[in-house]
C-alpha cells in the first residue's frame, strides 16, 4: 500500500508494548472489499494471547491510573494531533480495508480524533460531589475512580471512530484497555495503536488483539480482571457477550443494531428532507447503525418527494473508494450484498416497486436503490438493511407515523422533517429512540450522547455522559466529631 509513512502498516498484535504474532503462527488474510485483493495478513490470536493482553493491561493500570488527569489529557491530545498529522495515510488504510470513499475515510479520521480531543478535555472534569448530610456529625462525599481494565470489541463499519469513542473515555478516566477490532478492518486499529505509542502512551495501556472472535470474546468475558466491556456490533453478538459478562458481573456498554425511521411530514421542506435522507441513508453505502432504514412519507407529498429523492439516488456514483468521484463504495463483503438483495427480492415479491438501482455489480458493489409501495410485512420493515436500499412507506396521520416508527424492537436513531413547532415536540417525545434528528439527517458528533434503547443497546458514547461508563462512583461517609 502506498503510504507516506509505511511504518503505520502493522501485521502483528500489540500486547504489552510488543508487536507479536499468534502463538501458533496462524494468520487471517485481509482483503480489499473493492477488488478482492489480499492487502496482507494479521495474527489469528485466541485465548492465550488475549490473557496476556489482559495481564499487560492489568500491569500498566496502577501507573496510568495514578497519573494526574492533566498528564493523561496531554497524552490523549498528542494522540489526537498525530491522527490528524497522519490523516491521509490513515484514510488510505481505511479505504483499502473497509471500502468507503476516501473523502468519507478522511472524515472518519477527523471524527475519530475528535473523541480523543473531547475526552482529553473531559479527563480534567471528573468531578465528585459533596452531599448535604442529614447527620451533623457526618460528611458525605462522592469520588469517581477508573473502573480498571476495559475491553472493547469493535465493528468494521467505522474502524477508527469506534475505537476512539471507547479508548478515549477509558484512557481519560485512568483505565487501560484491550481492543479486539473487526476481522475485516484490523489495520486501522493497529495504526491507531502505533500512533498511541508515538504519543507516549505507556506500553500495556492500549493492547490490540486480532483473530478468533469467539475465543477472544470468551477470554475477555471470563476474566475477572476485565471490569468493563464495551461493544459495538450486531444485536445477537451483543446479547451473547452481555450474557457471558454476567458471570464476572462486568459493566457493559452495548451499541447495537438499529432500524431507523425517517419521517417526512406534509409540512416539511421537501428539498431539505431529500438532502437529509441522502446523508442518513447512503453514507458509508448504507452501512451505519444510524442509517435511515424505513422512510415514511405523508400521502399528500409522497409522490413529489419520491420523485425528487429517486432522481438524486439514480445520480449517485458507485465505484472503488480510492477514486475521487466515488460517492458509494462497495459493501463490506458478499454476505452483506446477499442480505440487501434478499430484502430487495422480498420487497418486490410483496408488491414493492423498484424505482431505481438494485443492480448487483461485479465484486461487492450494488447500485443504490429506492423501493416504492413498501409495506410493513416486508423484511426491510423488520430487519436492519445495512446497505444502499431505501424503502418508501406511505402514511396518512401523525399518529400512524409514530405507531409505524415505533413498531420495532430497535431504538437507536430516528429522524423526522416538519416545520410545525408543536409537532416537533409531540413527535420527539413519542419516538422510542435514543437519538432523534429533527430536520437533520446526521446527528453524530463527539459533543453529543450517542446510544440507543430497547434492542439497540445500553450506555451512551461521546459527550459529558460518555465517560460515566468508565468510572465507578464511590461514596465516602466520614464522621468528623
Ligand X SMILES: NC(=O)C1=CN([C@@H]2O[C@H](COP(=O)(O)OP(=O)(O)OC[C@H]3O[C@@H](n4cnc5c(N)ncnc54)[C@H](OP(=O)(O)O)[C@@H]3O)[C@@H](O)[C@H]2O)C=CC1
In the complex, which residues of this chain contact ligand GUA (CB under 6 A)? 157-158, 232, 255, 288-290, 444
Partner interacting with residue 444 (select from ligand GUA, ligand X, none; CB below 5-8 Å by kind): ligand GUA
Three-point CA angle 214, 220, 224, nearest 5°: 145
Task: Label the pairing between strands 435-438 and 413-417.
Answer: parallel
Q: Which three cell numbers stand for residue 1?
A: 500500500
In DSSP notation, 46-76 reads -HHHHHHHHHHHHHHHHHHHHS-HHHHHHHH
Tell me whether residue 160 or residue 418 sits nearer to ligand X (CB atom): 160
User: How far is residue 116 CA from its own chain's centroid?
Assistant: 15
CA distances from 112 to 119, 258, 409, 445 (A): 11, 21, 29, 10
Fill in the DSSP letter of residue 247: G
Tell me whether residue 153 or residue 297 sits nearer to ligand X (CB atom): 153
Partner interacting with residue 278 (select from ligand GUA, ligand X, none; CB below 5-8 Å by kind): none
Partner interacting with residue 471 (select from ligand GUA, ligand X, none; CB below 5-8 Å by kind): none
Paired strand residues for 477: 140
Q: Residue with C-alpha cell 469506534? A: 162
CB of 378 to ligand GUA, least distance (A): 23
CB of 412 to ligand GUA, least distance (A): 8
Fill in the DSSP letter of residue 461: B
CB of 336 to ligand X, least distance (A): 6
Partner interacting with residue 455 (select from ligand X, ligand GUA, none; CB below 5-8 Å by kind): none
Q: Are 225 and 149 in contact (CB under 8 A)?
A: yes
> How many Cα neighbours within 13 Å face the side chain of 172?
33
Tell me whether residue 54 or residue 292 sits nearer to ligand GUA (CB atom): 292
Tell me whether residue 232 or residue 253 sits nearer to ligand GUA (CB atom): 232
Point out the catalytic residue in the list 104, 117, 255, 398. 255
d(CA 184, CA 29): 9
Q: Give me the residues that bind ligand X (CB under 6 A), please.
A: 153-157, 180, 182-183, 213-214, 217, 232-234, 237, 240-241, 255-257, 289, 384, 386
CB of 233 to ligand GUA, least distance (A): 9
CA distances from 10 to 80, 209, 382 (A): 19, 12, 40
Partner interacting with residue 160 (select from ligand X, ligand GUA, none; CB below 5-8 Å by kind): none
Name, in order, each residue with C-beta under 8 angstroms of 315's C-beta and a sequence gap of 6 or more.
Answer: none
Active-site residue, 362 included: no
Which secondary structure element, helix H or strand E, spans residue 395, and what is its range? Answer: strand 389-395
CB of 155 to ligand X, least distance (A): 3
Among 434, 155, 390, 425, smallest CA distance to 290 is for: 434
Tell me whether residue 169 or residue 186 sits nearer to ligand X (CB atom): 186
Tell me whether residue 274 or residue 290 sits nearer to ligand X (CB atom): 290
Tell me whether residue 154 or residue 298 sits nearer to ligand X (CB atom): 154
| Three-state secondary-structure class, residue 258 | coil
Burial grade of 137 (CB within 10 A; 0-12, 13-18, 19 or more): exposed
Partner interacting with residue 182 (select from ligand X, ligand GUA, none; CB below 5-8 Å by kind): ligand X
Partner interacting with residue 234 (select from ligand GUA, ligand X, none; CB below 5-8 Å by kind): ligand X
Partner interacting with residue 388 (select from ligand X, ligand GUA, none; CB below 5-8 Å by kind): none
CB of 157 to ligand GUA, least distance (A): 5
Q: Are 161 and 113 in contact (CB under 8 A)?
A: no
CB of 119 to ligand X, least distance (A): 20
CB of 174 to ligand X, least distance (A): 25
Q: Which residue is nearest to ligand X (CB)?
A: 217
Q: Which three cell numbers stand for residue 89?
A: 495515510
Tell me whether residue 295 or residue 355 sits nearer to ligand GUA (CB atom): 295
Report, as residue numbers or ranges, the catalytic residues.
255
Amino acid at each position: 500500500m502506498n503510504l507516506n509513512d509505511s511504518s503505520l502498516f502493522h501485521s502483528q498484535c500489540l500486547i504489552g508494548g510488543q508487536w507479536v504474532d499468534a502463538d501458533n503462527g496462524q494468520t487471517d488474510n485481509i482483503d480489499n472489499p473493492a477488488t478482492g485483493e489480499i492487502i496482507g495478513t494479521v495474527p489469528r490470536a485466541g485465548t492465550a494471547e488475549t490473557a496476556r493482553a489482559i495481564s499487560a493491561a492489568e500491569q500498566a493500570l496502577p501507573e496510568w491510573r495514578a497519573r494526574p488527569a492533566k498528564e493523561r489529557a496531554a497524552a490523549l491530545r498528542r494522540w489526537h494531533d498525530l491522527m490528524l498529522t497522519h490523516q491521509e495515510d490513515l484514510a488510505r488504510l481505511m479505504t483499502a480495508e473497509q471500502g468507503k470513499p476516501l473523502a468519507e475515510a478522511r472524515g472518519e479520521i477527523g471524527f475519530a480524533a475528535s473523541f480523543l480531543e473531547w475526552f482529553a478535555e473531559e479527563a480534567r472534569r471528573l468531578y465528585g460531589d459533596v452531599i448535604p448530610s442529614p447527620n451533623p456529625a457526618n460528611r458525605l462525599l462522592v469520588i469517581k475512580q477508573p473502573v480498571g481494565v476495559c475491553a472493547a470489541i469493535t465493528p468494521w463499519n467505522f474502524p477508527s471512530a469506534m475505537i476512539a469513542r471507547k479508548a478515549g473515555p477509558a484512557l481519560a478516566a485512568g483505565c487501560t484497555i484491550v481492543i479486539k477490532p473487526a476481522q475485516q478492518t484490523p489495520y486501522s486499529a493497529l495504526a491507531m495503536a502505533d500512533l498511541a505509542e508515538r504519543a507516549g502512551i505507556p506500553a500495556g495501556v492500549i493492547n490490540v488483539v486480532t483473530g478468533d472472535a469467539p475465543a477472544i470474546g470468551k477470554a475477555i468475558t471470563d476474566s475477572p480482571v476485565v471490569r468493563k466491556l464495551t461493544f459495538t456490533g450486531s444485536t445477537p453478538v451483543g446479547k451473547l457477550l452481555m450474557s457471558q459478562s454476567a458471570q464476572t458481573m462486568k459493566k457493559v456498554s452495548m451499541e447495537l443494531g438499529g432500524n431507523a425511521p425517517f419521517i417526512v411530514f406534509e409540512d416539511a421542506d421537501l428539498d431539505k428532507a431529500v438532502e437529509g435522507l441522502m446523508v442518513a441513508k447512503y453514507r458509508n453505502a448504507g452501512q451505519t447503525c444510524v442509517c435511515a432504514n424505513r422512510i415514511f412519507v405523508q400521502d399528500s407529498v409522497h409522490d413529489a418527494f419520491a420523485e425528487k429523492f429517486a432522481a438524486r439516488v439514480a445520480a449517485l456514483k458507485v465505484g472503488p473508494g480510492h477514486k475521487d468521484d466515488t460517492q458509494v463504495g462497495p459493501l463490506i463483503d458478499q454476505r452483506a450484498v446477499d442480505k440487501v438483495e434478499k430484502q430487495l427480492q422480498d420487497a418486490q415479491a410483496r408488491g414493492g416497486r423498484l424505482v431505481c438501482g438494485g443492480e448487483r455489480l461485479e465484486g461487492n458493489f450494488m447500485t443504490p436503490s429506492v423501493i416504492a409501495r413498501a409495506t410493513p410485512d416486508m423484511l426491510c420493515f423488520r430487519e436492519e438493511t445495512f446497505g444502499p436500499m431505501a424503502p418508501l412507506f406511505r402514511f396518512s396521520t401523525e399518529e400512524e407515523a409514530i405507531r409505524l416508527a415505533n413498531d420495532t424492537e430497535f431504538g437507536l436513531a430516528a429522524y423526522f422533517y416538519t416545520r410545525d413547532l408543536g409537532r416537533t415536540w409531540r413527535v420527539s417525545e413519542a419516538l422510542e429512540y435514543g437519538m432523534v434528528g429533527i430536520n437533520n439527517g446526521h446527528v453524530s458528533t463527539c459533543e453529543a450522547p450517542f446510544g440507543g434503547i430497547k434492542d439497540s443497546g445500553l450506555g451512551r458514547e461521546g459527550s459529558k455522559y460518555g465517560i460515566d461508563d468508565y468510572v465507578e462512583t464511590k461514596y465516602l461517609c466520614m464522621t468528623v466529631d
